Every structure is written in C-alpha cells, then in structure tokens.
Amino acid sequence: MINRKILLASLLLIFTVLSACSREKNTCRVVKISDGDTLTCLTKGNKSIKVRLAEIDAPEKSQAFGQKSKKTLSDLVYQKNVRLSLKGKDRYQRTLAIVYYQDKNINLEMVKQGMAWAYKQYSHDPIYLQAQENAQAKGIGLWADNNPIEPSQWRRTREKSIWLLIIKRSVKHFPISNVKMRLFI
C-alpha cells in the first residue's frame, strides 16, 4: 500500500516536471508586433520565431481597426515572456500558436476585446465564436463599426481592385480602335 502511494507520488512528480519542461521549451519574449494576429518572439537561445495567432483573424494594418488591433496586441504582450501552444505552420511557414501570457489566452482576449474575428475557416474551438458573438452584442472594438468587413473578404476585394487598376492602366497604354471590349470578373 505504501509502495503504491510512493509510486503514485513519483509519477505525479515526474509528470509535473515534464510538464514544466515542456512549457519552458515553448516560451519566448515578444520583440515585434506585425499586426493584430502576427508577432515575432525570441527564444532563450535567441532564435527568432514569427508567430501567427491561431483561431483568429485580425483586421489588416491598412483596414479599419487594423492599427487599433495591432496596438491592442502590443499592449497585451509586447516585450513580455509568453508561452506558445503550437498548432503547426501556415502556408507562409509562420508558426501557428495559441499565445498565453500569465495563463491568459491572448488569442481569445483579442476576440473578446473586439479586435479580431473568430477565424471560422480555421477555428476548431467554439469558444472563439462565442467570444465574438459577445463582443458583437456589446458593440466592442470593431463591432462599434456599422459594417465591419472580415479581413479575408477585405483582402479579396482589395486584390480585385488592384487587378482592375492594372488592367485599366494596361488598356490605356494599348488603345484598340473599333473594338468593343468587355471585362468579366
């Protein structure tokens, strides 16, 4: 009976130590904020890691609330030691992670403060959508805007506008006489 208690206590101690080591391994100091959902941090070995906050999508820097979102993330974690719960890599090879500062989920905090959307396309945890609905109901952050535009939609609209501008300028330099041209996009 005593041996079982000693064994159980030993296993618990080992688990606690391994858990602490794992946390230590995924900690870093935030040294740059790119926008409301991207930051750069340095590990203890001075390795730079570009981190994309998982589960959320913040306004782009040139989009309405983009700068406010960036400042909010900066206020929450800039020059602070954070813990990363790694989720993989995105298509730009940024580390996807849930970022924690003093056990607070910063990704979720950004949504709660109305500074990011729950990224429906990639979100796996319903708590983010619930936080978004709460912020929306209270008119917090970007939800104070009458018609906030999701970053993914804003990016598509912007890309289309850029292409239309390029085509317009190209057609201007290559006049075609006696031809009616239609452009379908």
Q: Give one DSSP letter per residue of 138-156, joined into a string.
A: HT-GGGGSSS---HHHHHH
* 149-178 mean pLDDT: 67
Q: Which of the following is catalytic: 52, 55, 83, 109?
A: 52
Angle at 62 between CA 61 and CA 67, to 5 degrees: 45
Q: Which of the following is catalytic: 55, 83, 94, 109?
A: 94
pLDDT confidence of residue 173: 57
| pTM, full prediction | 0.74
Task: Please tell me which residue, 177 or 76, carries the higher pLDDT value.
Answer: 76
Is 25 a residue whose pLDDT tops 80? no
Q: Which amino acid is at 143?
A: W
For this structure, is 156 an active site residue?
no
Contacts of 169 (CB under 8 A, 6+ apart): none
Going by pLDDT thresholds of 50, 70 and 90, the confidence category of residue 110 is very high
pLDDT confidence of residue 94: 98
- Name residue, tokens 């031809």: 179
* 105-134 mean pLDDT: 95
* Separation of alpha carbons 19 and 23, rounded Å: 6
* Separation of alpha carbons 140 and 126, rounded Å: 19
Q: Which of the following is catalytic: 55, 60, 83, 109?
A: 60
For this structure, is 169 an active site residue?
no
Give the chain's mean pLDDT: 84
Ranges 23-27, 31-35, 37-41, 90-94: which has the least confidence: 23-27
**Domain ranges (residues) in the chain:** 23-148
pLDDT confidence of residue 123: 78
Is 142 a residue whose pLDDT tops 50? yes
* Separation of alpha carbons 134 and 45, rounded Å: 40
Going by pLDDT thresholds of 50, 70 and 90, the confidence category of residue 127 is very high
* 130-157 mean pLDDT: 94
- Which CATH topology does 23-148 take? OB fold (Dihydrolipoamide Acetyltransferase, E2P) (2.40.50)
pLDDT confidence of residue 16: 45
Is the CB of residue 105 less than 8 Å from the CB of residue 84?
A: no
- What is the phi/psi pair of residue 44, to 5°? -60, -25
* 110-120 mean pLDDT: 97
Is the CB of residue 131 less than 8 Å from the CB of residue 48?
A: no
* 11-23 mean pLDDT: 44
Contacts of 152 (CB under 8 A, 6+ apart): 57, 121
